[in-house]
Structures are given as C-alpha cells and as structure tokens.
Structure 1
Amino acid sequence: MTRLISIEFQKLYKNRASKFLILTYFILLSFIALIASIKFDFGTFRLHIAEQGIFNFPFIWHFNTYIASIFKLFLAIVIVSMMANEYSYGTLKQNLIDGISKKEFVLSKFLMVIAFALASTLFIFIMSLLLGYSFSSYTEISIVFSDLDYLLAFFIKLVGFFSFCLFLGILVKRSAFAIGFLLIWTIIESIVSGILRWKIFPNTDIYEKINQFFPLESMSNLIKAPFTRLSAIKNIETTITGEEIARDYGVHFGGVLIVIIWTIIFIYLSYWILKKRDL
C-alpha cells in the first residue's frame, strides 16, 4: 500500500499543473481567514463579519467545512487530470506491464482520494482552531470540541465526491469531458429534483426523501448551508415572517451511509470498467 501511494505522489510531483491546482486549492482555503477582515459601512449601519459569530465555537466547524467544500472542484480537476494523463502518457499500461494489477491501480487512485480528503480535513481543523481561538467568545474545551461531526461529514463528502470524479476520469478518459460530464450530471439532478418538487409531488416533502439518494445531492446534504443560523439572519426572518423558522442543520448517520454506499459503487464501477476495458 505504501508503494502504491509513493508511485502516485511521484506522478503528482512531476506534473506542474497538478501541483499548481493543489497549491491554489489550499491557498483558497486559507482565504477563509480573510472573511474576518470584511467590514461594511453604510452610514450609521456597520457590519463586521467576524462579530456576527461565524468564528465562534462550535459554529465555526459548520461554517468552515461548508465554505471549504465549495473549493473541492480544484482537487476534482487534479483527480480527473491524473486519469487522463494515465491514458495520454501510457503510464497505466506501463504500470500493468510492471506488475501492478488493475485492482491495485484503482486502489492506488482511491488512496490518493483519501489522502486529498484527509489533508483537506486536517487543514480545516487546524485553521478553524486558530481562527476560533482568535475570535470566538467561547473557548471552553467542551464547547471547542463539540460539533466535530461536521469534520467527519466534510471528510466523507470529499471522499465521495472525489470517488465520483475518479469514476468519471476512468469512464471518459479526457479531463475536459469528465468535468463536462460532472456539470451535466449536476444539471440533470437539478432538473429531476425540480420536476419531483413542482410537478410530481407539489406541496409535500416526498421529493426530499427521493432527492437524498441522488449522488451529488446526498453529498450536498451532509453539510447544509449555515448562514441562517446567524443571529442577524434569524432576526431578519423573524421580522418578515413573525416567527422563527425551525431548521435541521445536523449531520445524520443515514446521510453519511448513503454517501459511503455511493463511494463504494463508484470505486467498484471504476474497477469494473478498467477490468473490462482493452488497454
């Protein structure tokens, strides 16, 4: 297993585009800290983002993992590019000639998926601790390390999404087409979701129960948008509607299980395609 990871890291190290995208990804994650410096002044109205509690423990775990997941496309491009390069440069065929089985090849790619997700999660964990201890009003240990299930959800979400991208890279062989297919799949899920919501099951929540099993939707559901948890947003909603709207922001075992199952499906399909394909 160590040998497989070493081979993959050597391939990444020799690819300038991949190194640039990976570096850009982590730099963008670091920019979350810049949110603390954002201030708005409109006459007598002043808004300092950091003062709204976004970096308070334990809310920061929810906020940072949600924002960080937006940038996952950068690593997705790296993953599909890795597969495209395997076909373009003939390294896949050479690896098989050198004695690596197709199962080991897929495993090596999946290990890279896990490595990317783990590095991202660790990075967000460290950055959240630094930001939290700098701006949070609550620094008790029991509060600081509560709601860490958002980090687990973030890790599972990235593993699932990157596994999907790996599957597309193996299926399509070209990085541009794989990313295009990903965008098309996103649009298809949105259209089907809209049809279920407005045409087939209007005025009910049945469409949500069906949507949760779609691959990208299931990953999205792991970490819901945190902005309506902010007191400023709640006050605006209460003023408009006259009551506080109850929402569920938690990470649920059922949602995690769905993404894990999709991850297993994508990895198996990747192996099945590679096994059946004539290289």
Structure 2
Amino acid sequence: MMRLLRIELQKVRPSRSFKVLASMYLVALFVICVVVMPFLQYLKSRFEDFDMDGIDPTIIPFYEFPDIWQNITWVAIHLKLLLGFSLIFSVTNEFSYRTIRQNVIDGLSQKEFIISKIVMAGFLSLASAAFLFVLGMITGLIYTSDISLGLMFEDSYFILIFALQLFTFLVFTLFVGVLIKKSIIAMGVLIFWTMVVENIAWGRMTYLGYDWIGYVLPVKSINQLVHVPFPKYVFQEVQDYITFPELGAVLAFLALFYWATIRLVVKRDL
C-alpha cells in the first residue's frame, strides 16, 4: 500500500493543477477557522451603530470546545469538490495521455493502478482531517475560556467522521472520472449531479414526505452524516450525534463505489 502511495505522490508532484486545487482546499479549511469571529465582531459593531447594544453575536460559541468540532466539520465537508476535482484531473489524465498503459507495462496490474488512486484518496482524506484537527485545536484553545482536557476532546470524533465523508466522496469522484475519462466533462457531471440533480430530487421527495430519499442519494447521504449545527444558537433542537442508519448508508456507498471503480478499470480494454 505504501508503495502504491509513493507512486501516486510521484505522479502528482509535477502536476500544477493538483497543487493549485489542493492548496485552495487547504486555504479554504484555514479560512473556516479564522473568518467567523471577525464576521461576528463586524455584526456586533453594526448593531451598535443602530443603537442595538444588547445584541452581541460574538457570544455565539462557534469556536469554543466542544461546539467547534461539529461546526467546522459541517462547513469543511462542503468544500470537498476542490479535492474531488484534483483527483478527477489525476485519473482522467492517465487515460488522456495513455500513461495507464505505461503503468501496466512497467509492472502494475490494472487493479493495482486504480487501488493506488483509492489509496491516494485515503491519504488526502486523513491529511485533511489531521490538518482540520490541528486548526480546530488551536482555534478552540484561543476562544474557549474554561478549558479542560475532557472538554477539548469531547465530540472530536466528528473529525474521524469528516475523514470518512471525504474519503467516500473522493472514491465517488474517482468512479465518475474512470467512467467518463474526460476531465472537463467529468467535472461538469460531478457539479451537475451534486448541485442540481440531487438537490432537485431531495427537495421534491422530502416535500412529498419521503424522507428516506437522503439515504439513497450518495452526496446527500455523505453530507447529512454531520447535521447542520447552527440552529441551536437560536434555541432550536439539532442532531449533534451520528446515527447508525446514516453511517451505514455512507459505508454502503463507499463499498459500492470502491467495487464499481475497480471493476470498471479491470474490465476495460486499455
């Protein structure tokens, strides 16, 4: 597995598009952990300008332990398209430039070739989760007034859930890239499916009362594993835990796209 990861890292090292997209993703994760408090302070100043001194948005514990873990992971998972695009470029370029044939000639089997991409997806997911954990820990230490070891790590399992969400989505993007083989078309299909098809299907079906639709749409299933946490700041009830049916749906999609991606490459004539 480490051999396959080293091969993939060597491939992406000279790739400018991969570096740009990955850098944009890391910057976006960093912004999540620095932008909210200045925005809340801006809102407070605006309220004061309108003689509304009693309203203080800065008391919202967005960056405080343990709230920070669900807050930042819910926001961060919506940035996943950036990493998805980087993997689409990686796998579609192999088909466009016929380097997959050279990989097979050099000794990699077709199965090892695609597993190396999946291993890369796992590496990116774990690296992103680790980066987000460090940012969350630093930000939480800055903004939490009463800190204890138990409070710091309470609900930190959301970081592991984030890694699973991201890995599942990246395997899905690999499936799309392998299926279509053209980077621009594959990215267009991914955007259209994620932002249009699933949203229309989910909105229509939930309107009709079919709430189970969230379990059969892959991206919605991934997104809903961590529920939106912010309504609790206006005294609404939110789900601040992971349910087994939602976790099972994501694991099922992960297994499905893992199998389908490998099968597509192994059965395809190079």
What TM-score, normalized to structure 1? 0.88
Q: What's the offset of the Cα at 1:49? A: 5.3
Offset from partner CA, 1:75-108 (integer Å, 9 cap, x none)? 1110100011101222111001111011111110
1:198 pairs, out of 198, 207, 225, with: 207
Aligned residue number for residue 150 of structure 1 = 158
AA paired with 1:34?
V
- Paired residues in the alignment total 261
Correspondence 1:271 to 2:262 = yes
Aligned residue number for residue 162 of structure 1 = 170
Distance 1:149 1:10 in 2: 32
Where structure 2 has 5 or more consecutive residues not aligned to the other structure, the ranges are: none
AA paired with 2:124?
F
Distance 2:24 2:198 in 1: 29
Aligned residue number for residue 36 of structure 2 = 35
- Aligned-residue Cα RMSD (Å) equals 1.6
Q: What's the offset of the Cα at 1:35? A: 2.1
Distance 1:13 1:48 in 2: 47
1:112 pairs, out of 120, 139, 142, with: 120
Offset from partner CA, 1:35-72 (integer Å, 9 cap, x none)? 22222223223666553110110000011111111221
AA paired with 1:82?
S
Shifted more, 167-176 versus 178-187: the winner is: 178-187
Aligned residue number for residue 239 of structure 1 = none
Where structure 1 has 5 or more consecutive residues not aligned to the other structure, the ranges are: 202-206, 235-244
What secondary structure does 2:269 align onto? coil
Regions of 4+ moved over 4 Å:
46-50
Aligned residue number for residue 171 of structure 1 = 179
Shifted more, 55-64 versus 34-43: the winner is: 34-43
AA paired with 1:166?
L
Q: What's the offset of the Cα at 1:116? A: 0.7
Q: What's the offset of the Cα at 1:209? A: 2.3
Contact conserved, 2:165 with 2:222, CA < 8 A, in 1? yes
What secondary structure does 1:56 align onto? coil
Aligned residue number for residue 3 of structure 1 = 3
Distance 1:107 1:144 in 2: 36
AA paired with 1:133?
L
AA paired with 2:23?
L
What secondary structure does 1:45 align onto? coil
Alignment of 1:84-233 (within 5 A): 84-186=92-194, 187-199=196-208, 201=209, 207-230=210-233, 233=234
Contact conserved, 2:66 with 2:152, CA < 8 A, in 1? yes
What secondary structure does 1:184 align onto? helix
Distance 1:149 1:170 in 2: 32
Q: What's the offset of the Cα at 1:257? A: 2.0
Contact conserved, 2:122 with 2:167, CA < 8 A, in 1? yes
AA paired with 2:38?
S
Aligned residue number for residue 261 of structure 1 = 252
What secondary structure does 1:222 align onto? coil
Distance 1:106 1:49 in 2: 48
Distance 1:75 1:113 in 2: 9
Contact conserved, 1:8 with 1:108, CA < 8 A, in 2? yes
Distance 2:79 2:242 in 1: 20
Q: What's the offset of the Cα at 1:269? A: 0.6
Contact conserved, 2:231 with 2:237, CA < 8 A, in 1? no
Distance 2:212 2:123 in 1: 32
Shifted more, 73-82 versus 268-277: the winner is: 268-277
Distance 2:157 2:3 in 1: 32
Aligned residue number for residue 79 of structure 1 = 87
Contact conserved, 1:226 with 1:249, CA < 8 A, in 2? yes
Offset from partner CA, 1:219-248 (integer Å, 9 cap, x none)? 011111111122xx22xxxxxxxxxx4332
Q: What's the offset of the Cα at 1:216? A: 1.0
Contact conserved, 2:221 with 2:249, CA < 8 A, in 1? yes
Contact conserved, 1:80 with 1:166, CA < 8 A, in 2? yes
2:52 pairs, out of 45, 49, 53, with: 45
What TM-score, normalized to structure 2? 0.91
Contact conserved, 2:64 with 2:140, CA < 8 A, in 1? yes
